[in-house]
Amino acid sequence: MNTSKTKENKYTIAVVPGDGIGTEVMDATISVLNELDIEFNYIYAEAGDACLEKTGSALPQETLDIVRDADACLFGAAGETAADVIVKLRQEMKMFANLRPVKAYPNTNSLSEDIDFMIVRENTEGLYIADKEEFTDDGATAKRVITREAEERIIDYAFQYAKDNNKSKVTGVHKANVLKKSDGLFKEIFYEVGERYPDIEKEDFYVDATAMYLITQPESFEVIVTTNLFGDILSDEGAGLVGGLGLIPSANIGNYGALFEPVHGSAPDIAGKGIANPIAMMLSAVMMLRYLGESESAQKLDNAILKLLTEAKVLTGDLGGNATTNDVANEIIKLLR
């Protein structure tokens, strides 16, 4: 632990490691955060598959209360109970905005060196509403919910994000040619809200065209705003552009709290082997630091991660190296010192 300075600014952080590699990447990230000149009070909580087996609930009320009372939450990974854990947390905490940055780093087999865009995904409705899905005599049905209030809120958030981060263009993504009412409404609201931001360029694409353009011209995107399911799929495609899911962090932001998690899942095939890439979890912590207003520490950690990837001496297997999760954490700690 860095003891060269008196630590300042104390925050209570809910820590939910979750399932599989969640515990491993979380431990690595906490060890790195402890090197910063910030005092964190970590409160650990359980959720996920193992929690369900142990307690009968994938997301106990105690965990929800801990997340609600904290300044922010770090979440590791969800397994088969993801819908009952992370989706419910987002809904209970009204975390309506899911931010998923897609950025090219050195030595990560990125499709292009100039990829750097943000996917702003609506988090509370669309197809990801469990109580709107049900079995029928013939199979099953799911109801897709699009409301003016939620879509206007997320689209305005995307334009404001672009304005605050010196981005010049926002792209709305939908399927209004087929989903004429629900996505037709999304497209209508996109341009209505866009009128409030005259200095920002607006464009819209169908989601299938966007999937192609992410491959053929990823450098052209700056901020993408879209609905829940489309945002989920496109962000995984974005991960493929820049070296894989081990490099994609995310933030869930709302009026009553924020949760930060890597986009990757619990990866049961490598869980317990100590070889998971912790960079996505660490980049999620960078997003948390910025959310808390700790910009200097966020930049310090971001710079250390960038240097590690640039030097390419300590990389996990997914990036062509043979380092362990702890090797990466220890190298980041050295760079921070």
DSSP H helical segments within the chain, as ranges?
Answer: 22-33, 49-55, 61-69, 82-92, 148-164, 182-194, 207-216, 228-241, 279-291, 295-311, 325-336
Domain annotation covers residue 101: no
> Quick one: 204 and 294 in the same domain?
no
| SS3 at position 226 | strand
Catalytic positions, written as ranges: 128, 175, 208, 232, 236
**pLDDT tens digits along 156-180:** 999 999 999 999 999 999 999 999 9
Domain annotation covers residue 6: yes
Domain annotation covers residue 316: yes
> Quick one: 236 and 248 in the same domain?
no
The answer to whether residues 207 and 65 touch, using CB atoms and an 8 Å cutoff, is: no
**Confidence grade of residue 5 (pLDDT, cut at 50, 70, 90):** very low
d(CA 180, CA 165): 32
The shares of helix, strand and coil residues in the chain, as percent rounded to the nearest 5, are: 45, 20, 35
The answer to whether residues 102 and 238 touch, using CB atoms and an 8 Å cutoff, is: yes
Q: What does the pLDDT read at residue 4?
A: 40
The answer to whether residues 31 and 59 touch, using CB atoms and an 8 Å cutoff, is: no
Tell which phi-psi region holds residue 126, choosing left (phi > 0), alpha (psi between -120 and 50) or beta: left
> Quick one: 145 and 180 in the same domain?
yes
> Quick one: 227 and 263 in the same domain?
no
**pLDDT tens digits along 276-298:** 999 999 999 999 999 999 999 99
Q: Number of structural domains, the chain?
A: 2
> Quick one: 125 and 232 in the same domain?
yes
Residue that finishes a domain, picked among 207, 225, 241: 241
Domain annotation covers residue 105: no
Q: What does the pLDDT read at residue 131?
A: 74
> Quick one: 237 and 249 in the same domain?
no
Q: What does the pLDDT read at residue 9?
A: 74
> Quick one: 210 and 120 in the same domain?
yes
**pLDDT tens digits along 68-89:** 999 999 999 989 998 899 888 9
Residue that finishes a domain, picked among 241, 266, 288: 241
Domain annotation covers residue 153: yes
**pLDDT tens digits along 119-139:** 999 998 998 876 788 999 999
> Quick one: 122 and 223 in the same domain?
yes
d(CA 47, CA 55): 10
> Quick one: 230 and 249 in the same domain?
no
CATH of the domain at 160: 3.40.718.10
Q: What does the pLDDT read at residue 1?
A: 36
Domain annotation covers residue 106: no
> Quick one: 251 and 228 in the same domain?
no
Whole-structure pTM value: 0.91
Supply the range of the domain harboring residue 156.
111-241
Closest CA to 36 of 298, 327, 328: 298
> Quick one: 122 and 11 in the same domain?
no
Domain annotation covers residue 321: yes
The answer to whether residues 95 and 89 touch, using CB atoms and an 8 Å cutoff, is: yes
Q: What does the pLDDT read at residue 6?
A: 52
The string of DSSP codes covering 29-71 is HHHHHTTSSEEEEEEE---SHHHHHHHS-SS-HHHHHHHHHSS
Domain annotation covers residue 104: no
Residue that finishes a domain, picked among 182, 216, 241: 241
> Quick one: 22 and 82 in the same domain?
yes
Amino acid identity of residue 189, one-letter, is I
Residue 46 above 70 pLDDT? yes
